[in-house]
Amino acid sequence: MTHLVPLAKEVDENKVTPGVLGFIVFAAMAVAVWGLMKSMSKHMGKVDFKEPADPEQTSAAGTAKATGKPSSTS
């Protein structure tokens, strides 16, 4: 252990490094983001983007075709 002391003296004492704790925190955050993205992907797969046909729009479109005039929906 004493042979590492000269290496420690070469390190700048004013320099701050994240060390092992910083790596563990970063790795934990990366795993959390990966888990959240996987969960979001699974939930987005369950979403049905097809909207059902609106009965008012289909009847208005049918009326417009029959009369030849566009219907006003205000």
Q: 10-69, pLDDT tens digit by residue? A: 666 778 788 899 999 999 999 999 999 999 999 998 888 787 777 777 666 666 555 655
Find where tokens 């790795």 sit.
Answer: 27
Cα–Cα distance between 67 and 57 in angstroms, integer?
15
pTM higher than 0.85: no
Cα 28 to chain centroid, rounded: 17
Cα 68 to chain centroid, rounded: 47
CA distances from residue 23 to 5, 17, 32 in whole angstroms, order as listed: 24, 10, 14
